[in-house]
């Protein structure tokens, strides 16, 4: 439909029709088995169901087609319905959770995954995905860490923009793609105390310098929607924050697409005490530029009267409605309201071999090896025991893979039998313990040694532990311990599993058998004594459909680990929020000598236990000193080449990720000790070397200065190149 035709359509619509284009209602009001991703105690009227412009939580080609047909037949202007869904890290083929994808340090992995998710979801009638999440996360207590790609703005920006490109393709007219929604705008990851839906207090400097860049990258990549966040920012709820939504999002970031609230976020402004009632909340949200009200009665029940009373201008309403109509038009819904959805296409693409193959590769690349003492991995014993709740657990996706099918996930046991059982290795499996102490309380709780069910499971596990030459312990968070509304102050693995770990260690003669620990998680964890008691420690995240296959590919040595931590792992939850790019403070803790009257903890190190960017492989790499093409950089088109020579001095081919960090030694505002500015993967055979180079130009040195704008300042800088954020391999240069 031409823009002129859209204008004619808008002009012909009644006030009620216009308002209802901005109303989204839950899919379960149309289909009983639709996903429930929020709370609602109200049922929409028949009129709202007939006119609401969008819904969420419905998928399946037959359901989507039938719903669209009914809706358009009943709509006065036969305008198509928008179908949205949380396709976060997989539709039917589930990829590693976003945090696991961040660990790949490979935007191409994220892009391919998003392409496949879009292909599967669109075949089942989905038009919009509420992904990617661009929130910067630095607090492991926050449950939604699992949905982020990590603690670094540069890495997040690269991954977010890749996902947007993967979801949307080059044109939304392409029926194999979906519209992408950046969320949650803004600074949701900075929730106070790591508690979901909470207040956020950030200076404008920190907001602009750290939290906004990843959203901006997604918008630059062309994301067609942005979602408001649940939190307040400096006392103003995001859905009513005109400065945030109009000045920053619309004017500065030049976002022209649809702005949608998160579930009930407009109505919740009343709970915040920012609006006296839902009518006022509706006015405030419209004035802030929120186009769609997700799953409340705010817009549907109040906007018509607000316009009639002159409290909201019809021009403002028309602008919002036009943005919604333009999205529907760009998706091609006016020409094909079913947008190519078909049962046949769904059966062809969903969980097909090609998609599983890509997901399996993503799992391999996401795994992070934290310990490998004596090169115990890859596995080499002929007698291997797989012990723990995750040894044969189907729920290895996250709570945000809502349209996935857990029964199609490949478990560790299934993959081990397939990839190891065909040889001469003897395998045994035991659950060892319950996943949690009490399903009614998913906190770690206190483990009761006389718990009969755990006692029986433990005895079986210890028997095969004594028999084995190598023990693979499969432990981690329950699927319900990471995700929305799962904030935790205890970020250790559940107590029954820790008791299992301790018991296995007590019967294991480390001189005769090796202990390999796998951790399934959606956040950084306090690993207690697990690292020092394990011969090898592998972080598996929430790996998804091909989790078992990808993990066994690594355990067997068919593929060397290459993942890097996208988040810092603490010694203790008391260190949170924790991130590598901190300030030095006026009294930095000295590396050696007297530490009194310095910035320190009495009972814990300052630094992370396992730092951002860290991850081992099955080989060892030697990195030369940093070489700079010159020592001075001008502010024009000039650049410096920073390079190192990397050599594989190990025994197997492997991939290493070289990371470029830069420190601004002194600025008009305090600068971080270092910031990631680039990364490059290199794959080398034993004995082979390669030169890895990074280009440093003036734009990379800009920050939000004392002048309240992004600009560079002359002075001294340090360029670091290494294999994690703790590297000291560096060289100095000057911006003149």
Per residue, what are the HEC states of 628-685?
Answer: ECCCEECCCCCEEEEEEEEEECCCCCEEEEEEEEEEECCCCCCCCCCEEEEEEEEEEC
What span, in angstroms and rounded, lies between the C-alpha atoms of 382 and 240? Answer: 63
What span, in angstroms and rounded, lies between the C-alpha atoms of 520 and 532? Answer: 18
Whether a cis peptide bond, with omega within 30° of 0, leads into 378 is yes
Sign for the pseudo-dihedral over CA of 132, 136, 138, 144: negative
CB-based burial, 330-339: b 16+ in 10 Å, e otherwise: bbbbbeebbb
Identify the three-state secondary structure at position 260.
Answer: strand
What span, in angstroms and rounded, lies between the C-alpha atoms of 567 and 149? Answer: 8
Q: DSSP class of residue 197?
A: T
The answer to whether 346 and 124 are in contact (CB under 8 A) is yes
DSSP states along 48-60: HHHH-SEEES---
**Residues across the chain:** 736
What span, in angstroms and rounded, lies between the C-alpha atoms of 592 and 435? Answer: 42
- Count of beta carbons in the 10 Å neighbourhood of residue 150: 30
What span, in angstroms and rounded, lies between the C-alpha atoms of 697 and 660? Answer: 13
Q: Enter the tokens of residue 174.
A: 């392409």
The answer to whether 156 and 99 are in contact (CB under 8 A) is no
CA angle, 492 then 156 then 394, to 5°: 45
Angle, to 10 degrees, between the axis of helix 107-123 and the axis of helix 153-168?
Answer: 30
Classify residue 597 by burial, with Cβ atoms within 10 Å: 0-12, 13-18, 19+. Answer: exposed
Helix (H) or strand (E) holding 363: helix 353-366
Over its C-alpha atoms, the chain yields an Rg (Å, rounded) of 26
Q: Enter the tokens of residue 483.
A: 């995700």
Q: Is 262 assigned a catalytic role?
A: yes
Whether a cis peptide bond, with omega within 30° of 0, leads into 367 is no
Classify residue 174 by burial, with Cβ atoms within 10 Å: 0-12, 13-18, 19+. Answer: middle
Catalytic residue among 262, 526, 664, 724: 262
Query: Measured between alpha carbons, how far is residue 725 from residues 372, 647, 675 in Å?
Result: 20, 19, 9
What span, in angstroms and rounded, lies between the C-alpha atoms of 113 and 439? Answer: 32
- Count of beta carbons in the 10 Å neighbourhood of residue 459: 12
Beta-strand pair 536-539/514-520? parallel
- Backbone phi, then psi, for 499, in 5-degree steps? -65, -40
The answer to whether 291 and 22 are in contact (CB under 8 A) is yes
Q: Which residue in 721, 650, 662, 720 sits closest to 691, CA to CA?
A: 721
Beta-strand pair 23-26/54-56? parallel
Q: Who's near 428: CB < 8 A, 6+ residues apart?
A: 383, 384, 385, 386, 464, 467, 468
The answer to whether 25 and 44 are in contact (CB under 8 A) is yes
- Backbone phi, then psi, for 245, in 5-degree steps? -85, -35
CB-based burial, 193-208: b 16+ in 10 Å, e otherwise: ebbbbbbbebeeeebb
Residues classed as catalytic? 262
């Amino acid at each position: 439909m031409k823009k002129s035709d859209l204008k004619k359509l808008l002009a012909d619509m009644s006030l009620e029709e216009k308002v209802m284009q901005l109303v989204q209602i839950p899919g379960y009001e149309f289909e009983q088995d639709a996903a429930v991703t929020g709370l609602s105690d109200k049922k929409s009227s028949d009129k709202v169901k007939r006119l609401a412009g969008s819904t969420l939580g419905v998928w399946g080609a037959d359901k989507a087609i039938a719903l669209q047909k009914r809706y358009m037949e009943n709509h006065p202007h036969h305008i198509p319905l928008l179908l949205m869904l949380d396709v976060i890290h997989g539709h039917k083929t589930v990829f590693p959770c976003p945090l696991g994808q961040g660990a790949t340090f490979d935007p191409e992995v994220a892009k391919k995954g998003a392409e496949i998710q879009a292909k599967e979801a669109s075949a089942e009638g989905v038009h919009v995905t509420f992904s990617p999440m661009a929130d910067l996360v630095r607090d492991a207590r926050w449950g939604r860490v699992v949905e982020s790609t990590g603690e670094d703005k540069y890495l997040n920006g690269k991954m977010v923009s890749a996902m947007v490109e993967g979801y949307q393709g080059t044109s939304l007219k392409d029926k194999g793609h979906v519209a992408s929604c950046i969320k949650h705008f803004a600074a949701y990851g900075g929730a106070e105390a790591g508690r979901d839906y909470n207040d956020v207090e950030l200076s404008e400097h920190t907001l602009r310098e750290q939290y906004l860049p990843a959203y901006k990258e997604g918008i630059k990549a062309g994301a067609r929607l942005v979602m408001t966040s649940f939190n307040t920012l400096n006392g103003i709820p995001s859905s009513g924050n005109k400065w945030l939504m109009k000045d920053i999002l619309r004017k500065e970031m030049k976002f022209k697409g649809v702005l949608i609230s998160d579930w009930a976020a407009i109505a919740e402004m009343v709970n915040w005490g920012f609006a006296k009632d839902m009518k006022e909340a509706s006015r405030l949200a419209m004035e802030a530029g929120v186009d769609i009200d997700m799953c409340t009665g705010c817009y549907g029940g109040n906007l018509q009267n607000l316009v009639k009373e002159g409290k909201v201008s019809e021009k403002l309403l028309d602008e919002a409605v036009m943005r919604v109509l333009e999205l529907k038009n760009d998706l091609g819904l006016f020409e094909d309201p079913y947008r190519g959805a078909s049962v046949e296409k769904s059966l062809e693409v969903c969980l097909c071999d090609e998609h599983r193959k890509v997901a399996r590769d993503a799992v391999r690349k996401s795994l992070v090896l934290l310990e490998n003492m004596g090169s115990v991995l890859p596995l080499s014993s002929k007698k291997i025991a797989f012990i723990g709740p995750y040894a044969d657990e189907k729920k290895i996706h996250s709570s945000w893979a809502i349209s996935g099918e857990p029964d199609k996930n490949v478990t560790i046991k299934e993959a081990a039998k397939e990839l190891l059982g065909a040889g001469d290795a003897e395998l045994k499996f035991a659950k060892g313990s319950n996943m949690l102490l009490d399903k009614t309380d998913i906190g770690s709780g206190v483990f009761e040694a006389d718990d009969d069910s755990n006692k029986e499971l433990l005895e079986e596990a210890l028997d095969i532990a004594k028999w084995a030459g190598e023990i693979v312990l499969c432990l981690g968070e329950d699927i319900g311990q990471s995700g929305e509304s799962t904030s935790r102050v205890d970020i250790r693995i559940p107590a029954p599993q820790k008791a299992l770990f301790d018991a296995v260690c007590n019967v294991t003669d480390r001189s005769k058998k090796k202990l390999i620990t796998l951790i399934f998680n959606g956040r950084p964890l306090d690993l207690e004594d697990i690292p020092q008691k394990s011969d090898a420690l592998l972080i598996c995240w929430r790996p998804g459909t091909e989790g078992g296959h990808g993990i066994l590919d690594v355990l067997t040595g068919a593929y060397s680990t290459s993942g890097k931590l996208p988040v810092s792992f603490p010694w203790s939850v008391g260190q949170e929020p924790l991130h590598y790019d901190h300030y030095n403070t006026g009294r930095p803790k000295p590396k050696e000598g007297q530490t009194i009257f310095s910035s320190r903890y009495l009972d814990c190190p300052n630094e992370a236990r396992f730092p951002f960017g860290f991850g081992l492989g099955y080989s060892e790499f030697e990195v030369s000193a940093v070489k700079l093409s010159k020592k001075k950089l001008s502010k024009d088109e000039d650049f410096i080449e920073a390079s190192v020579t990397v050599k594989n001095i190990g025994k197997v081919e492997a991939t290493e990720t070289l990371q470029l960090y830069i420190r601004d030694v002194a600025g008009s505002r305090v600068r971080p000790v270092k910031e990631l500015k680039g990364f490059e993967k290199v794959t080398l055979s034993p004995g082979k070397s390669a030169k890895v180079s990074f280009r440093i130009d003036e734009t990379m040195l800009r920050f939000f200065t004392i002048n309240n704008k992004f600009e560079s300042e002359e002075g001294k800088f340090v360029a670091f190149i290494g294999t994690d954020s703790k590297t000291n391999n560096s060289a100095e240069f000057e911006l003149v």
